[in-house]
Structure 1
Amino acid sequence: MTTTTAVPAGAAPIKRARRTLSVPMILLIIAGGLALFSLVRVISGANDLTSVGQVSGALQLAVPIGLAGLGGLWAERAGVINIGLEGMMILGTWFGAWAGYQWGPWTGVAVGIIGGALGGLLHAIMTVTFNVNHIVSGVAINILAVGATRYLSDFTFAEAPGGSSKQSPRIDAITEITIPGLSDALADLQAKHWFFVSDLAGVLGGLVTNLSLLTVIALLLVPATWWVLWRTGFGLRLRSCGENAVAAESLGVNVYKYKYIAVIVSGALAGLGGAFLAIVSTGIYQEGQTGGRGYIGLAAMIFGNWMPGGLALGAGLFGFTDSLKLRGGAENVHAMLLLLAILLVLVFAWQLYKRKHWQAGICLGVSGLLFAWYGLTDALPSQFVDAAPYVTTLLVLALSAQRLRPPKVIGQPYKKGQGK
């Protein structure tokens, strides 16, 4: 990507390559973020903030969000808005549980993927073939998925032993991986609560303890998506449909085909996220268990600027925020007030350096309020703890809105031959 700088009238604009982060710089940023977390943990006494259990729980909560976000990435890179991710996840949970309790968890995963892909196919037919408004089509799929799964549950799960009209029988678990020796050593090191070292041990321990095989597959899908979409001719043609479908058609790209492939893969990934929820996260299907994760996955994709790496970071952030209320609850969320206040001080210094004085003043004022809130309270109301993931979603989208660069023709109707 390039940017242009101001030049005298009549002169050609000078294009300047946008700087990209090197691997050492990325590692340095991660280390700095972990040090900040460690500082907050030491000050607040919330020692569970970066524990092995906290990181492991955050990863498990982040995977369905990340899979939904990956699904949105595939569709929107091809120019199709996919608000229907939530409905496709719902189809994945139901079909995954339905097949999983009868024929085993891996069959459930496969059927859950198929269920989500069917939702993606329906979305592709409506948006690509019939040019239905993408938002309307997505909302319709969400509503249809809720009604269809509720209807199907009444005469499948309700008649199965251990099931009911709102939940499935128990599903067998997928094999979990724990690296012996290393896992115990990292847990012992984390329990010492040393600055930074224990926090690093907690993060690494969470990645090697009780890790489901499906989690490993989901994590590998992030670099796989990057490679397919940015390092292959197939990915170049697919992305061209989202940047300029008319130009892509003029170069011989079958735009309809690539849009269909992208949206069906999008539904399949969302369905996999739903199957993960039913089979790995809970071991059972429950009505309404997606809990808006399809929408949060869409937010993670937007936060990541339609890139797999940024999407993974966004999913991790939302998963971590969601896990705070499960382990430590109010104490951990209360500590996050301190973290947010310190982050705003850093943003204040950056805005001041950029000579954006009124933005810097707002950051400093909000930071002062958060410091006061943290200092004057010992815990937060349970309602705020429950709302923390959704508040985080809104804050992240609001703060990242200025740097977003979506595909150019996303959501725009396309008809074959319109460029001729």
Structure 2
Amino acid sequence: MLDFLSFKRKSLIDKDTPEAPFYLVADDLFVERDGHEVFLKLIHSTSKDIKPLGAVVLAPGIATNANIFRIDDKGETLSLKHNRSFANLLAAEGFRVYLYHPGYTERVHNRYVSRHCSKSLHFGKNYQVSSGFGYMDIVNLEVPMVVNFICEQEKTKNLSWIGYSMGSMIVYSHLSKNMNSPIKNLISIASPMALNHMFIRFIPFLNITSRFLGFEETSLLGSFSESLVPLTRIIRTLPDWFVRFNLISPMLFNPLNIRNNTIKTMLGKIIEPIPAELERFFAEFVKRGFSTHEKFANYLINLRALRKTKRNFLFFYGSNDLIATPESIFLAREVISPFDVNNLIGIPHAGHIDLIVGKNAMDTVWKPALNWLKNLHV
């Protein structure tokens, strides 16, 4: 049985009084089962002039937290004063936006939850994810927890889900096992059914970077952290050419389609360490796929069965994405929802990261996703 805990408070980050014209507020919510807790951030409008449009979950990709959806068109993040981030744009139009921070998000927990959320099981503690925490923990434990909690919270039987990269892959797996899931609308952004070897090459880089950047968080409960100059400040001083143009950047994004400030925000506030088991899962999946042909066949059969259910799917891909290649997105669509001629949107010249937070992301991804969801609620 799920034990639901939620509270509303003005945190250090989302403390400002709601401002016109959108009057956005943010609430910290927690759902717990058998000692395992999931942190959600709910962003919504308190304006009486904005028509409620239902609940939507925003799920991040591997090695990132859900604050990636709060990055605005200038590369800043966490503000509620505008509608220029993906999360705020949805909330300003009437959606109740649930930002899902998966259990591997050590930086969010140590930087925010441990310090400011007294109702959390991890308040005042150094949060450290188990090395054994993996993909199936997210699929079999956390996704059902999140879905059930939101349905009870919103008193609804249906909800929408927007997943970036791994954020929709986990829903593919969830839906293949749960045909009666309340997730009725899925927007998949750079979320493949299969991964190539390029994906594994950049994981060690992200892990090293994230653990280095997370050094200040892991020591936050000790006096030593008081004398540390926050590493995010150091990141802000890095030369622009180093931030955007380096050996790893072409694998992750189109350097010409993303702002320097966005990359610095990603490094300082968004990137998360990847647990060993999760890294191992993806490495094995890329190398061998499913452990048996029978499991793969069952997975495809179950996903194909989604065609017969009353669900709506929208797929975004970047033409220059080396992680979630266009072909991998075509495959996902072909298996899950091949008959809707309008459910596939390609973004020219976009790579993996700039697809979701690039210079043109608001016009090419955020607004089309918003309009698609709004049309379903007409």
TM range (shorter): under 0.3
- In the superposition, the TM-score normalised over structure 1's length comes to 0.23
Per chain length, whose mean CA-contact separation is higher, i.e. which structure has more relative contact order (CA < 8 Å, sep 6+)? 1
- In the superposition, the TM-score normalised over structure 2's length comes to 0.25
- Larger helix share, 1 or 2: 1
Structure number with larger C-alpha Rg? 1
